[in-house]
Structure 1
Amino acid sequence: MRSAKLSRKAVLLSSVTAAVAVVGGGVVIAEATADREDEPEEDRPVAEPSTDPVEDLLASMSLEDKVGQLFMVYVHGETADTGDPDAVASNRERLGADDGAAFVAAYRPGGVIYFDWANGLTSPEQVAALSNGLQAASAVPLLIATDQEYGSVVRIGEPATQFPGAMPLGATRDLDAAERAAAIAGAELRAMGLNHNFAPDADVNVDPANPVIGVRSFGSDPELVADFAAAQVRGYRAGGVAVSAKHFPGHGDTGTDSHVGLPVITHTAEEWERIDAPPFTAAIAAGADMVMSAHLQFPALDDSLAPATLSHPILTGLLRERLGFTGVVVTDALDMQGVRTEYGDDRVPVLALLAGADLLLMPPDLPLAHEAVLNAVASGELTEDRIDESVRRILGLKHSRGIVDDPETDEGAAGAVGSDEHLAAAEDIADRSVTLLANDGTLPRAGGSVLVTGWGENTTQRLAAALGANGFDAEALVTGDEPGADAIAAATAAAAGRDLVVVATRDVRAGSPQADLVAALLAGPAPVVAAAVGTPYDAAHLGEVNASLAAYSYTAPSLAALAKVIAGAVAPSGALPVDVPGASGEVLYPFGHGLGYP
Structure 2
Amino acid sequence: MRIKTPILCMLTGLLLSLQLNAQSSGKTDPEFLKYQTSKWVDSIMNKLTPDERIAQLILVAAYSNRGEEHKQEILELIKEQKIGGLIFFQGDPETQAELMNDYQQAAEVPLIGAIDAEWGLGMRLDNTISYPFQMALGAIQNDDLIYKMGEEVARQVKRTGLHINLAPVVDVNNNPENPVINFRSFGEDKQNVTSKGIAYMKGMQDHKVLTTAKHFPGHGDTDTDSHYALPQINHPLERLDSLEMYPFKELIDAGIGGVMVAHLDIPALDSTGVPSTLSKPIITGILKERLGFNGLIVTDAMNMKGVTTGNEPGVVDKKAIVAGNDLLEFTEDVPRAIAEIRKAIRAGIITQKEIDERARKVLAVKQWVGLNDYSPTSTEDIVEELNTPEAILLNRKLVEASLTVLKNKNNLLPLHRLDTLKIASISIGEEKETVFQKSLSLYTEVKHFQLPVEADGSQIDSVKAELKDYNLLIAGIHDQSKYPRNSVSLSQEVQEFVKELSADEKTIIGLFKNPYVLNKFEDIEVSSVLIEAYQDSETTQEMTAQLIFGGIGATGKLPVSVGEKFRMGDGLEVKAINRFKYTIPEDAGMDSKVLYTKVDSLMNEAIDAKAIPGGQVFVAKDGKVVMYKAYGLHRYSDTIRVKKDDLYDLASITKISSALPALMKLHDEGKFDLNAGIDDYLSYFRNSNKAGVPFRQILAHQARFKPWIPYWKNTIRNNGSYKWNTFKKDSSARFPVKISEDLWLHRNYQKKIFRAIKKSPLEEEAKYKYSGLAFYLLPSIVEEITRQDFRRYINENFYDKLGATTLTYEPSAEFPLKRIVPTESDFFFRHKPIHGRVHDEGAIMMGGVSANAGLFANANDLAKLMQMYLNYGEYGGQRYISEETLKEFTRTQFPDNDNRRGLGFDKPNLEYQGEDNNTAKDASQNSFGHTGFTGTMVWVDPEVDLLYVFMSNRVLPTRDNTRLYKLNTRTKIQQVLYDAIKE
Superposed displacement of residue 211, structure 1: 1.0
Q: Which residue of 1 is the match for residue 99 of structure 2?
A: 130
CA, structure 1 residues 402+396, in 2 after alignment: closer, same or farther (shift >3 Å)? same
Q: Which residue of 2 is the match for residue 60 of structure 1?
A: 47
The partner residue of 2:281 within 309, 313, 321 is 313
Q: Which residue of 2 is the match for residue 11 of structure 1?
A: none
Q: Which residue of 1 is the match for residue 325 of structure 2?
A: 357
The partner residue of 1:504 within 478, 483, 489 is 478
* In 1: Cα distance, 2:121 partner to 2:429 partner: 18
CA, structure 1 residues 407+382, in 2 after alignment: closer, same or farther (shift >3 Å)? farther
* In 2: Cα distance, 1:402 partner to 1:349 partner: 28
Matched, 1:191 2:165: no
CA, structure 1 residues 515+140, in 2 after alignment: closer, same or farther (shift >3 Å)? farther
Instruction: Provide the secondary structure at the position in 1 that maps to 2:428.
Output: strand
* In 2: Cα distance, 1:320 partner to 1:421 partner: 39
* In 1: Cα distance, 2:248 partner to 2:278 partner: 19
Q: Is residue 141–residue 555 contact of structure 2 (8 Å, CA) maintained in 1? A: no
Matched, 1:250 2:224: no
Q: Greater Rg, structure 1 or structure 2?
A: 2
The within-5 A match list for 1:33-182 is 52-78=39-65, 82-83=67-68, 88=69, 91=70, 98-116=72-90, 120-121=91-92, 124-150=93-119, 154-158=123-127, 160-182=128-150
Q: Which residue of 2 is the match for residue 39 of structure 1?
A: none
* In 2: Cα distance, 1:294 partner to 1:553 partner: 26
* In 1: Cα distance, 2:220 partner to 2:437 partner: 33
* In 2: Cα distance, 1:489 partner to 1:373 partner: 66
Q: Which residue of 1 is the match for residue 559 of structure 2?
A: 577
Structure 2: unaligned runs, 5 residues or longer:
1-36, 468-472, 576-983
The partner residue of 1:424 within 363, 371, 393 is 393
* In 2: Cα distance, 1:264 partner to 1:484 partner: 36
* In 2: Cα distance, 1:466 partner to 1:338 partner: 44
The partner residue of 2:423 within 448, 452, 477 is 448
Instruction: Provide the secondary structure at the position in 2 that maps to 1:501.
Output: strand
Q: Is residue 500–residue 526 contact of structure 1 (8 Å, CA) maintained in 2? A: no
* In 1: Cα distance, 2:129 partner to 2:444 partner: 26
How big is each residue's C-alpha offset from its partner over 1:357-389, in whole Å with a ceiling of 9 and x where there is no partner? 111111333343333323433444443223212
* In 1: Cα distance, 2:507 partner to 2:126 partner: 32
How big is each residue's C-alpha offset from its partner over 1:69-113, in whole Å with a ceiling of 9 and x where there is no partner? 12112124449xx43xxxx1xx3xxxxx73433432222222111
How big is each residue's C-alpha offset from its partner over 1:218-266, in whole Å with a ceiling of 9 and x where there is no partner? 1211111111111111101123311111000001111111111111112
Instruction: Provide the secondary structure at the position in 2 that maps to 1:358.
Output: coil
Equivalent residues, number: 518
Matched, 1:517 2:494: yes
Q: Is residue 116–residue 166 contact of structure 2 (8 Å, CA) maintained in 1? A: yes
* In 2: Cα distance, 1:438 partner to 1:253 partner: 28
Instruction: Provide the secondary structure at the position in 1 that maps to 2:62.
Output: coil
Matched, 1:555 2:556: no
* In 2: Cα distance, 1:406 partner to 1:572 partner: 45
How big is each residue's C-alpha offset from its partner over 1:113-142, in whole Å with a ceiling of 9 and x where there is no partner? 1112xxx21xx4333223222222221111
Q: Is residue 574–residue 594 contact of structure 1 (8 Å, CA) maintained in 2? A: yes
Question: Which residue identity is paired with 1:425?
Answer: L
How big is each residue's C-alpha offset from its partner over 1:437-491, in whole Å with a ceiling of 9 and x where there is no partner? 1244565456833221227x89x84434444455564757574xxx4465x7546
Matched, 1:386 2:354: yes
* In 2: Cα distance, 1:450 partner to 1:300 partner: 52
Higher mean C-alpha deviation, range 564-573 or range 443-452: 443-452
Instruction: Provide the secondary structure at the position in 2 that maps to 1:250.
Output: coil
Question: Which residue identity is paired with 2:53?
Answer: K
Q: Which residue of 2 is the match for residue 23 of structure 1?
A: none
CA RMSD of aligned residues (A): 2.9
Q: Which residue of 1 is the match for residue 170 of structure 2?
A: 202
* In 1: Cα distance, 2:376 partner to 2:507 partner: 52
* In 2: Cα distance, 1:472 partner to 1:537 partner: 33
Superposed displacement of residue 190, structure 1: 0.7
Superposed displacement of residue 572, structure 1: 2.1
TM-score for both structures, normalised by structure 1: 0.79
* In 2: Cα distance, 1:538 partner to 1:223 partner: 24
Instruction: Provide the secondary structure at the position in 2 that maps to 1:411.
Output: coil
Superposed displacement of residue 397, structure 1: 1.1
Instruction: Provide the secondary structure at the position in 2 that maps to 1:502.
Output: strand
Q: Percent identity at matched positions?
A: 31
Matched, 1:595 2:572: yes
CA, structure 1 residues 454+268, in 2 after alignment: closer, same or farther (shift >3 Å)? same
Structure 1: unaligned runs, 5 residues or longer:
1-49, 92-96, 583-587
Q: Is residue 166–residue 216 contact of structure 1 (8 Å, CA) maintained in 2? A: yes
CA, structure 1 residues 227+423, in 2 after alignment: closer, same or farther (shift >3 Å)? same
CA, structure 1 residues 235+151, in 2 after alignment: closer, same or farther (shift >3 Å)? closer
Superposed displacement of residue 325, structure 1: 0.9
Instruction: Provide the secondary structure at the position in 1 that maps to 2:568.
Output: coil
Q: Which residue of 2 is the match for residue 541 of structure 1?
A: 520
* In 1: Cα distance, 2:74 partner to 2:174 partner: 40
Question: Which residue identity is paired with 2:82?
Answer: R
Q: Which residue of 1 is the match for residue 730 of structure 2?
A: none
Q: Which residue of 1 is the match for residue 701 of structure 2?
A: none
Q: Is residue 291–residue 328 contact of structure 1 (8 Å, CA) maintained in 2? A: yes
Higher mean C-alpha deviation, range 252-261 or range 361-370: 361-370
CA, structure 1 residues 517+396, in 2 after alignment: closer, same or farther (shift >3 Å)? same
Superposed displacement of residue 327, structure 1: 1.1
Question: Which residue identity is paired with 1:142?
Answer: L
* In 2: Cα distance, 1:476 partner to 1:201 partner: 38
Q: Which residue of 2 is the match for residue 26 of structure 1?
A: none
Superposed displacement of residue 178, structure 1: 0.7
Q: Is residue 117–residue 165 contact of structure 2 (8 Å, CA) maintained in 1? A: yes
Q: Which residue of 1 is the match for residue 754 of structure 2?
A: none
Question: Which residue identity is paired with 2:391?
Answer: H
Superposed displacement of residue 502, structure 1: 1.7
* In 2: Cα distance, 1:248 partner to 1:589 partner: 29
* In 2: Cα distance, 1:357 partner to 1:476 partner: 55
Q: Is residue 451–residue 459 contact of structure 2 (8 Å, CA) maintained in 1? A: no
Q: Is residue 137–residue 146 contact of structure 2 (8 Å, CA) maintained in 1? A: yes
The partner residue of 1:346 within 314, 321, 324 is 314
Instruction: Provide the secondary structure at the position in 1 that maps to 2:531.
Output: strand
Q: Which residue of 2 is the match for residue 44 of structure 1?
A: none
* In 2: Cα distance, 1:518 partner to 1:240 partner: 48
Q: Is residue 153–residue 216 contact of structure 1 (8 Å, CA) maintained in 2? A: no
CA, structure 1 residues 411+461, in 2 after alignment: closer, same or farther (shift >3 Å)? same
* In 2: Cα distance, 1:467 partner to 1:101 partner: 52
How big is each residue's C-alpha offset from its partner over 1:25-57, in whole Å with a ceiling of 9 and x where there is no partner? xxxxxxxxxxxxxxxxxxxxxxxxx96321321
How big is each residue's C-alpha offset from its partner over 1:278-307, in whole Å with a ceiling of 9 and x where there is no partner? 211222223222100000011111111211
Instruction: Provide the secondary structure at the position in 2 that maps to 1:56.
Output: helix
Instruction: Provide the secondary structure at the position in 2 that maps to 1:171.
Output: coil
* In 1: Cα distance, 2:443 partner to 2:120 partner: 23
Higher mean C-alpha deviation, range 316-325 or range 436-445: 436-445
CA, structure 1 residues 111+462, in 2 after alignment: closer, same or farther (shift >3 Å)? farther
Q: Is residue 184–residue 239 contact of structure 1 (8 Å, CA) maintained in 2? A: no
Instruction: Provide the secondary structure at the position in 1 that maps to 2:206.
Output: helix
